[in-house]
């Protein structure tokens, strides 16, 4: 247990908690920049629209407790959240599929800010392979296994057309990648022990369109 990373971030948190922690971080980072020193759980609850007891519970997972009548120390909370979430570490990643969405993500410097270090791209298109996108070199698929090994790549990002998602997932796993970030709407299957995160931004569009149609329908009735 001498590995600090392990002791710090190896608690398996409930996913809803893990998804809320970055909200807290974004908010307290903003307060910190504004020079605010303490924040009450009541203010956090109000500004983030999350129940105060839920916030206290979420933060207890990372051993943060507020002080009576003072609340949370803003700088301390920011530091603890940033460390816990792994945003301070660098996680090397390869982007498979450097087309529209893949290239867009390679251009997003925000990912770097959150610890994701995209060190290489892969694309089958001869017009894209062997180019450089946002200072990241793009290679042909035959280079994948060597890149993963030589560049200490632990995360594979999948931004290929949906019909290739599973085969790309398979080749990333075979190459030794430990986690997959899947941007396609295709559900992929992986061996036990491989981490999968799904970010299907188009699914969020579907939710939004549906709610919008519902809202239109309510206005029409009233």
Q: How far is the CB of 119 from its own copies (least distance, A)?
A: 16
Residue with Cβ nearer its own copies (62 or 122): 62
Alpha carbon 66 to its chain centroid, in Å, reads 27
Q: In the complex with its own copies, which residue's Cβ is closer, 9 or 131?
A: 9
Q: Which of residues 72-111 bind its own copies (CB under 8 A)?
A: 85-87, 89, 91, 100-101, 103-105, 107-111
C-alpha 58/C-alpha 6 separation (Å) is 20
Q: Does 55 bind its own copies (CB under 8 A)?
A: no
Closest to its own copies by CB, 77 vs 155, is 155
Q: Minimum distance from CB of 71 to its own copies (Å)?
A: 18
34-72 exposure pattern, b = at least 16 Cβ within 10 A, e = fewer:
eeeebbebebbbeebebebeebbebbeebebebeeeebb
Stretch that binds its own copies, among 51-59, 124-132, 144-152, 196-204 (CB under 8 A): 196-204
Under the criterion CB under 8 A, does residue 42 sit at the interface with its own copies?
A: no
3-state SS of the chain: helix, strand, coil percent to 5? 50, 15, 35
Residue ranges in 135-164 that form contacts with its own copies under rule CB under 8 A: 154-155, 162-163
The DSSP string of 52-83 is HHHHHHHHHTTT--PBTTTBEEHHHHHHHHHH
Q: How is residue 216 written in tokens?
A: 């239109």
CA distances from 147 to 118, 120, 160, 161, 215 (A): 12, 8, 18, 22, 49
Can you read off the two tokens belonging to residue 8?
Answer: 């710090």
**Interacting residue with its own copies among 42, 57, 90, 211 (CB under 8 A):** 211
- Residues 112-131 close enough to bind its own copies by CB under 8 A: 114-116
CA 22 and chain centroid, separation: 9
- The least CB distance from residue 64 to its own copies, in Å, is 16
Stretch that binds its own copies, among 52-60, 65-73, 122-130, 211-219 (CB under 8 A): 211-219
Structure tokens at 199: 């970010």
Kindly tell me which residue out of 25, 59, 118, 172 binds its own copies, with binding defined by CB under 8 A.
25
Residues in contact with its own copies, total (CB under 8 A)?
Answer: 82
């Amino acid at each position: 247990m001498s590995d600090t990373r392990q002791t710090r971030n190896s608690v398996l948190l409930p996913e809803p908690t893990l998804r809320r922690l970055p909200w807290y971080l974004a908010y307290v980072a903003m307060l910190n920049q504004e020079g605010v020193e303490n924040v009450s759980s009541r203010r956090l609850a109000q500004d983030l629209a999350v129940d105060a007891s839920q916030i206290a519970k979420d933060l207890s997972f990372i051993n943060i407790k507020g002080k009576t009548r003072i609340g949370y120390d803003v700088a301390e909370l920011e530091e603890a959240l940033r460390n816990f979430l792994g945003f301070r570490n660098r996680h090397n990643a390869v982007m498979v599929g450097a087309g529209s969405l893949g290239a867009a993500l390679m251009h997003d410097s925000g990912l770097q800010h959150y610890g994701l270090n995209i060190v290489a791209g892969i694309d089958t298109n001869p017009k894209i392979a062997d180019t450089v996108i946002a200072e990241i070199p793009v290679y042909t698929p035959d280079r994948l296994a060597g890149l993963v090994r030589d560049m200490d790549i632990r995360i594979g990002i999948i931004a290929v057309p949906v019909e290739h998602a599973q085969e790309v997932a398979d080749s990333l796993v075979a190459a030794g990648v430990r986690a997959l970030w899947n941007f396609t709407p295709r559900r992929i299957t992986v061996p036990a022990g491989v981490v999968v995160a799904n970010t299907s931004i188009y699914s969020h569009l579907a939710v939004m369109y549906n709610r919008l149609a519902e809202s239109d329908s309510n206005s029409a009735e009233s």
